[in-house]
């Protein structure tokens, strides 16, 4: 599988993602500049990643400007054809702005930037994974109808939990609806999440739980 990592002005996790995919998971990685449009070398068996950061300085809503970049037009077409796309943190915000994923990301409930390790678990799993978060606008919100559809279609892929895997209000770091940490689209090829698996994928960092997430989401065909 080949990965493309999009670089926007203000991206600050693009190299972290490249390092995790290329060196920790031994995958081919191509860096994609936001002004370019050509991703013809990628097939629907490959994956485009939108990394964390502050695309275009977050001068409007987070991800609102990046959604209109030349590269994102190609990414939207790629996703609509069935290609895999992962958005992490700011990348998740971009995917929601581009309407590749439903809902929005709002200011954290405490109105503060949060940077710490949290726990999350995948739907159907009892294993709690320790993954860092670093965001000021990570509170997922959608209307009731959308939330019901997400649950009905098994589109919620990660919930915040405590270290024992319990989904509790105390384990919710940002006030997100229903402890939602990540979702996918109905077709199952576009994924968005606020926690940073690329920051927990190296033995040198003392935590490789992020590898489990990247392998689960992206390498299962």
Domain boundaries, the chain: 2-218
Is 89 marked active-site? yes
DSSP alpha helix (H) spans, the chain: 14-19, 70-80, 90-97, 144-152, 209-218
Structure tokens at 117: 């390790």
pLDDT at 15: 96
Its pTM stands at 0.94
Measured distance CA(199)–CA(215) in Å, rounded: 14
Is 151 catalytic? The answer is no
Q: Of the listed 34, 135, 159, 198, which one is catalytic?
A: 198
Structure tokens at 21: 């995919």
Task: Identify the three-state secondary structure at position 138.
Answer: coil
pLDDT at residue number 220: 64
Mean pLDDT of the chain: 94
CATH architecture, range 2-218: 3-Layer(aba) Sandwich (3.40)
Pairing of strands 156-161, 180-184: antiparallel
User: Tens of pLDDT along 15-34?
Assistant: 999 999 999 999 999 999 99
Q: How far is CA 112 from the centre of its chain?
A: 20
Q: What is the pLDDT of residues 52-101, one digit of tens each?
A: 999 888 776 777 788 889 999 999 999 999 999 999 999 999 999 999 99
State what percent of residues in the chain have pLDDT above 70: 98
Assigned token pair, 76? 């939207």
Annotated catalytic residue within 89, 96, 97, 135: 89
**pLDDT tens per residue across span 125-176:** 889 999 999 999 999 999 999 999 999 999 999 999 999 999 999 999 999 9
User: Does 198 participate in catalysis according to the annotation?
Assistant: yes
The answer to whether 177 and 194 are in contact (CB under 8 A) is no
Q: What is the mean pLDDT of residues 199-217?
A: 93
């Amino acid at each position: 599988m080949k990965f493309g990592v999009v670089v926007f002005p203000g991206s600050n996790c693009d190299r972290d993602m490249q390092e995790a995919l290329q060196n920790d998971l031994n995958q081919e990685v191509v860096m994609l500049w936001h002004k370019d449009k050509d991703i013809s070398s990628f097939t629907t068996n490959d994956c485009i990643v939108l990394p964390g950061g502050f695309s275009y300085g977050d001068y409007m809503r987070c991800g609102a400007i990046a959604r209109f970049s030349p590269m994102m037009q190609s990414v939207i077409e790629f996703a609509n054809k069935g290609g895999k796309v992962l958005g992490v943190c700011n990348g998740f915000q971009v995917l929601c702005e581009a309407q590749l994923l439903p809902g929005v990301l709002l200011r954290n409930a405490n109105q503060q930037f949060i940077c710490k390790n949290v726990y999350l678990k995948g739907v159907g799993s009892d294993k709690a994974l320790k993954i860092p978060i670093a965001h000021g606008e990570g509170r997922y919100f959608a209307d009731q109808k959308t939330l019901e559809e997400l649950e009905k279609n098994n589109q919620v892929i990660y919930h915040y939990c405590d270290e024992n895997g319990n989904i509790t209000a105390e384990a919710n770091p940002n006030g997100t609806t229903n402890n939602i940490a990540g979702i996918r689209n109905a077709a199952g090829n576009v994924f968005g999440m606020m926690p940073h698996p690329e920051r927990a994928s190296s033995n040198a960092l003392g935590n490789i739980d992020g590898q489990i997430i990247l392998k689960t989401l992206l390498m299962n065909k």
